[in-house]
Structure 1
Amino acid sequence: MFNFFKKGLSKTIEAMKEARGKSKISKDVLEEMLLEADVDYEIIEEIIFYLPPNEFVEKADLKRVMKTYFMYEHENFTPAKPYVELILGVNGAGKTTSVAKLANLYKKAGNSVILGACDTFRAGAVEQIKRWSQIINVPIIATAQGHDPAAVAYDTINSAVAKGLDRVLIDTAGRLQNQKNLANELEKIVRISARACEGAPHRKIIVLDATQGNNSVIQAKAFNEITKLDGIIITKLDGTPKGGALFGIARELEIPILYVGVGESMDDLIKFNPDEFVDTLVDGLFE
């Protein structure tokens, strides 16, 4: 797992080490390093404030302070069959690809999975997720572009119930003409899903693009106002020096980061472990 995080954080660590140069890590140097990683400035000030009043920063102290940003309440996984997850996020964040990677992850863990192609708004979205379903060999419920996404969600969950499947992954539209349309569509999907299976959707997960840095917090807050989120997937962590934004995401939203994408292959979606994330980041700075 450490190797996966090292791969995902390589660009972030590289950017931070350039800010460091060859000097020891003083608090001024640390501030520059964290800014390079897109850590929110207010969080940087907090980190430095809670470090011991020494001239130079010690690795163990930095790890201790940084890990406090991930001390939010962890998810309460409620067993249900089928377990229905609604995947949300703006277009371009890697939402549909994350649905496929999640399905692959669940399938490898021995779960039966079905996909629901509820992004009937964006041209090509249904065909994209259909291709993924063929690649990972899982069933899918889909209709033509423009059809009612709530009806697709209902049919997908119904199919899972009838076949005794373990997991349902519902892909949704990233953006409609305006936020009101998006809110109405998501509210309807949630309401109709509950009719197909009590308690569904059991988890609402937002997909955030790590290359957006702290801007992704704004996206997540907008979706959280529409429908209460239960978890986060961070994509493209390996392609950005902005890995420090995860501290702001964790603090501002207080929602568990569930998975991170650290590459393009199907197996490059890993469970997020805060301790390993911080350890990998800080160890990289002190190498």
Structure 2
Amino acid sequence: MKVAEETLCLSAVHVSRAMKVEASQIKEVAGRAVLLVDDQPMPFASLGALLGLGPDEVAGEGALVLVVRSQGATAALAVDRVLEESVQAILPLKGLMAHFPHLTGATTLADGRLAMVLSAAHLIASAQGTLGLRIPRAPAAARPPAAPRRRILVVDDSPLTRELIGSLLEAVGYDVIMATDGMEALDMLNGSLNGYLNGNLNGGSNGPKVDLVCTDLEMPRVDGLELTRRLKEHPTHKVLPVVILTTRGGEEDRQRGLAAGANGYITKGDLVRQDLVDVVGRLLG
């Protein structure tokens, strides 16, 4: 299914039906939106709002809704689009990725992209108002003692992927800043974006100090390959380790990334293990 610009998955066993909302079905009970489905009221929320991917408002007439059931509870969740139903293996989340209770696993789509599988139970609880579903930060106790803290620039055009990678790296003690594509990353490093003028320099006269760059491969404007080339050609930024994190796992793609100067090349499917944390730790060790 499509939520904002993200492709996400739900196990079909938890989806009882998909339907279009009629205005007469939308009600309010105790200050919360409910949807009447077969004359039965159930919590009603936008999945994008629950995940922090869209405005915090209730969907209206004509919205596409999935009726989700789990552990005896039910909720109606509005989504932008249902893409397809297919039989795919769900990979369990291991290591630090298991800290995200709103996810039950990951799966590979037909085009090779990685998609996260959402927990129906947590979605329902959040729609009921008993849980917050925005991507959690791991507790401070999970962070090993380390000083000084290293800073990593995460570059990805997917908001959800940026947050997942950022949370994963913060959980093991790194500071994280983020960019939406290679152009924004270069602007940040060269100090031309307001809001990053901190005097802690790494090449640009006003840019933020960064110890490593973790970048997606396919992005608008400046993609990961071009970003890597430009960094490695820069008189100061060339010392920055660059890790490419991508859905493209073919050997030819990997060789292109390494030829551009990348110090590491990881497929997003390997996020379910500790590959990224291990590679970053080795490069910054």
User: Whose RCO is larger (CA < 8 A, sep 6+)?
Assistant: 1
Q: Same fold (TM over 0.5)?
A: no
Query: What range is the shorter-chain TM-score in?
Result: 0.3 to 0.5
Report the structure, 1 or 2, having the larger strand content.
2
More helix by share: 1
TM (normalized to structure 1)? 0.32
